[in-house]
């Protein structure tokens, strides 16, 4: 009997040691990479993706109905911008209940189905966590503003004015005007970094921290595989409310320019990120950050000193290279790639003009769209696509002020037209409303839907869509694209951006003509050990395909991606 007990106890010890090790190992591949490092992320603006109930606004069931399309495209995780209950002042970025779904988008049951159907197709669901502020209709804020003694008073930032009619300091909302709003009920001002309908939470209050941390636990239990954290740089403010320094000139809202020294990027925010990460790690989940920074040094801070904050802070510096330029992209890629972190690349999102417009020259836009995909989808790092980018969707900005939906555009017109242009309905086919809905959608479909849509492009082997499908398939199958290091080549070439992704004895050569004229690229890769073998073209817009890499004739904006073996 005693022997049995001893054997049983020994087994328990073995299990106790083995189980956590196995769980940890399950995260890693041979190179120590985690699941999100090999995943392709895809941002969905739910109002505009697919409208299952034909009310003109997209919804969760619409997204679920398109999971097969996403799987076929090569997407592994979707980030859905806020779909929680909200008055929709900022189209969901004003949350009035963090643990439910807005009826516009469906129900929790629809959400559960999306998670389940996603899982069956190996597509994870990432939600958008609006951490900095709530809606002014959130019960926490309604209680907070009801009296100075209310339970939630200290959940937000309330202060007396400097004097009659004068806000507590000079801080400006990033959406225009003072960042303080007077509330007559209690005679104090509350702080809002964004719209007045988006009061900032007081993260110095431990009760706020606990409530928000619990929100993430709640969704992890429901099956989400991570969060995109909204506006993380704005989480904390100087407790002494020191005035921000003014800068010369005015912004698009006519406000003086200002250095947001005392209300962004305060060091306290890192403790919150560490806390969120600890909880994420329990579910093997990923945290993506909306991390605008002025340089790579600033971006690195979001990963955490010990890699214990965000796994995926987005590199917006990459999106700020606003021209198709080999030297500019070379410099930007080198800066992040050599900094010791795992890069996170994107071309645009729901706040940024679509890449088709930003990089297009008006004549070669489709070729340039492929070129840009050939670039950021072959780099070492995780890409985040924006819905419709794979079709060559373009901005459809409002022509008249009365058509603008985004409040920024209403306040800033005509200098700031708002973000409606990059948020238009997904283009599924060339029928009315681009197959998004049977009724007029909430934003007008871009006229290019007649040619740039899923159905038509699916039939054309040379379409942008099929280029994306091919490059994403390579990303998932070519060992050098999965694991390889980035090796810059021909670094003085002003027109052609070239690099290797190299892994053991394999390499993928990427050659991108970033100019509107034909170029000749020459390679001698003897030093890298790839001098001899003939290249195997994997994906190229060049015809005929080159037989050797010694000299490659590149047409304007041409792409050549080939496997090399030693």
Residue 434 CB, shortest distance to ligand NOJ, in Å, is 23
- The total of other beta-carbon atoms located within 10 Å of residue 289's CB is 24
* Partner residues linked to 345 by β-bridges: 383
* Smaller CB separation from ligand NOJ, 89 or 335: 89
When asked if residue 417 is in the footprint of ligand NOJ (CB under 6 A), the reply is no
By beta carbon distance, the residue nearest ligand NOJ is: 93
Residue 135 CB, shortest distance to ligand NOJ, in Å, is 10
Cα 58 from Cα 227, distance rounded (Å)? 21
Residue pair 394/353 in contact by the 8 Å Cβ criterion: no
CA angle 126, 501, 339 (to 5 degrees): 65
Q: Where are the alpha helices (DSSP H) in 27-66?
A: 60-65
Q: Which of 200, 230, 233, 394 binds ligand NOJ (CB under 6 A)?
A: 230
Residue 175 CB, shortest distance to ligand NOJ, in Å, is 7
Q: Which of 350, 423, 470, 501 binds ligand NOJ (CB under 6 A)?
A: 350
Q: Which of 230, 315, 389, 397 is catalytic?
A: 230
Q: Which of 90, 301, 315, 394 binds ligand NOJ (CB under 6 A)?
A: 90
Q: Is 460 a catalytic residue?
A: no
With helix as H, strand as E and coil as C, how does 402-463 read? Answer: HHCCCHHHHHHCCCCCCCHHHHCCCCCCCCHHHHCCCCCCCCCCCHHHHCCCHHHHHHCCCC
* Smaller CB separation from ligand NOJ, 288 or 554: 288
Q: Is 389 a catalytic residue?
A: no
* Smaller CB separation from ligand NOJ, 384 or 561: 384
* Smaller CB separation from ligand NOJ, 423 or 501: 423
Residue 547 CB, shortest distance to ligand NOJ, in Å, is 47
When asked if residue 98 is in the footprint of ligand NOJ (CB under 6 A), the reply is no
Chain positions 492 to 551 lying near ligand NOJ, rule: CB under 6 A, are none
What single string gives the DSSP state of each residue in 218-287? HHHHTT--EEEETTGGGS---TT-PPPPEEEEE-TTSPEEE--TTTSS-TTHHHHHHHHHHHHHHTT-EE
Chain positions 272 to 291 lying near ligand NOJ, rule: CB under 6 A, are 290
Cα 347 from Cα 359, distance rounded (Å)? 10
Cα 426 from Cα 434, distance rounded (Å)? 7
Burial class (CB in 10 A: 0-12, 13-18, 19+), 248: exposed
Q: Which of 351, 430, 455, 553 binds ligand NOJ (CB under 6 A)?
A: 351
- The total of other beta-carbon atoms located within 10 Å of residue 87's CB is 15
Residue 350 CB, shortest distance to ligand NOJ, in Å, is 6
Residue 304 CB, shortest distance to ligand NOJ, in Å, is 21
Residue pair 377/475 in contact by the 8 Å Cβ criterion: yes
Cα 86 from Cα 103, distance rounded (Å)? 9
When asked if residue 93 is in the footprint of ligand NOJ (CB under 6 A), the reply is yes
In the 8-state DSSP scheme, what is residue 495?
Answer: S
Q: Which of 79, 140, 191, 194 binds ligand NOJ (CB under 6 A)?
A: 194
Q: Which element (helix H / strand E) includes 168?
A: none
* Smaller CB separation from ligand NOJ, 153 or 228: 228
Binding footprint of ligand NOJ, residue count (CB under 6 A):
9
When asked if residue 125 is in the footprint of ligand NOJ (CB under 6 A), the reply is no
When asked if residue 231 is in the footprint of ligand NOJ (CB under 6 A), the reply is yes
Residue 150 is encoded by which pair of tokens? Answer: 């209310």
Cα 488 from Cα 50, distance rounded (Å)? 40
Compose the 130-169 pattern: x for residues touching ligand NOJ by CB under 6 A, - for all others.
x---------------------------------------
When asked if residue 416 is in the footprint of ligand NOJ (CB under 6 A), the reply is no
Give residues with Cβ within 8 angstroms of 26, minimum separation 6.
Answer: 284
* Smaller CB separation from ligand NOJ, 174 or 216: 174
Residue 349 CB, shortest distance to ligand NOJ, in Å, is 7
With helix as H, strand as E and coil as C, how does 356-375 read? Answer: HHHHCCCCCHHHHHHHHHHH
Q: Which of 120, 160, 282, 297 is catalytic?
A: 282
Residue 301 CB, shortest distance to ligand NOJ, in Å, is 19
In the 8-state DSSP scheme, what is residue 551?
Answer: E
Length of the chain: 566
Binding site for ligand NOJ (CB under 6 A): 90, 93, 130, 194, 230-231, 290, 350-351
Which active-site residues does the annotation give? 230, 282
């Amino acid at each position: 009997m005693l022997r049995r007990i001893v054997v049983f106890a020994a087994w328990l010890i073995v299990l106790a040691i083995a189980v956590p090790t196995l769980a940890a190992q399950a995260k890693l591949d041979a190179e120590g990479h985690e699941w999100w490092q090999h995943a392709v992320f895809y941002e969905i603006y739910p109002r505009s993706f697919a409208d299952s109930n034909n009310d003109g606004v997209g919804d969760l069931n619409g997204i679920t109905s398109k999971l097969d399309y996403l799987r076929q495209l090569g997407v592994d995780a979707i980030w859905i911008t806020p779909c929680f209950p909200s008055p929709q002042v900022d189209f969901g970025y004003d949350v009035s209940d963090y643990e439910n779904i807005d009826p516009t988008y469906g129900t929790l049951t629809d959400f559960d189905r999306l998670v389940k159907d996603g899982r069956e197709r190996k597509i994870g669901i990432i939600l958008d966590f609006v951490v900095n502020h709530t809606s002014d209709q959130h019960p926490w804020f309604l209680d907070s503003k009801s009296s100075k003694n209310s339970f939630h008073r200290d959940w937000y930032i309330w202060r007396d004015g400097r004097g009659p009619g004068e806000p507590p300091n000079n801080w400006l909302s990033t959406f225009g005007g003072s960042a303080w709003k007077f509330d007559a009920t209690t005679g104090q001002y509350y702080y809002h970094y964004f719209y007045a309908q988006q009061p900032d939470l007081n993260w110095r209050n431990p009760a706020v921290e606990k409530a928000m941390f619990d929100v993430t636990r709640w969704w992890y239990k429901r099956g989400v595989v991570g969060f995109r954290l909204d506006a993380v740089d704005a989480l904390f403010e100087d407790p002494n409310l020191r005035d921000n320094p003014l800068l010369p000139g005015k912004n698009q809202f006519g406000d003086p320019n200002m250095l947001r020294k005392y209300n962004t990027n305060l060091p306290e925010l890192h403790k919150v990120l560490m806390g969120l990460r600890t909880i994420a790690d329990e579910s093997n989940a990923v945290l993506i950050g909306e991390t605008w920074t002025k340089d790579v040094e600033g971006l690195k801070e979001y990963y955490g000193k010990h890699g214990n904050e965000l796994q995926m802070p987005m590199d917006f510096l990459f999106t700020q290279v606003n021209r198709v330029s080999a030297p500019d992209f070379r410099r930007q890629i080198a800066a992040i790639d050599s900094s010791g972190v795992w890069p996170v690349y994107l071309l645009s999102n729901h706040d940024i003009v679509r890449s088709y417009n930003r990089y297009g020259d008006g004549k070669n836009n489709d070729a340039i769209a492929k070129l840009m995909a050939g670039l950021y989808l072959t780099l070492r790092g995780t890409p985040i696509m924006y819905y419709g980018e794979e079709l060559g969707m373009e901005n459809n900005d409002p022509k008249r002020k009365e058509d603008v939906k985004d409040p920024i555009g209403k306040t800033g017109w005509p200098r700031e037209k708002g973000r409606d242009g990059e948020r238009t309905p997904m283009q599924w086919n060339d029928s009315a409303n681009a197959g998004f809905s049977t009724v007029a959608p909430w934003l007008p479909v871009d006229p290019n839907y007649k040619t740039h849509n899923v159905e038509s492009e699916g039939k054309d082997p040379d379409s942008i869509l099929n280029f994306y499908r091919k490059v994403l398939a390579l990303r998932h199958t070519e060992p050098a694209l999965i694991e390889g290091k980035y090796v810059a080549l021909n670094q003085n070439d002003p027109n052609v951006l070239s690099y290797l992704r190299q892994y053991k004895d394999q390499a993928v050569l990427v050659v991108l003509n970033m100019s509107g004229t034909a170029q000749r690229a020459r390679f001698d890769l003897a030093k890298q050990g790839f001098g001899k073998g003939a290249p195997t073209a994997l994906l190229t817009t060049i015809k005929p395909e080159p037989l050797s890499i010694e000299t490659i004739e590149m047409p304007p904006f041409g792409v050549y991606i080939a496997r090399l073996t030693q």
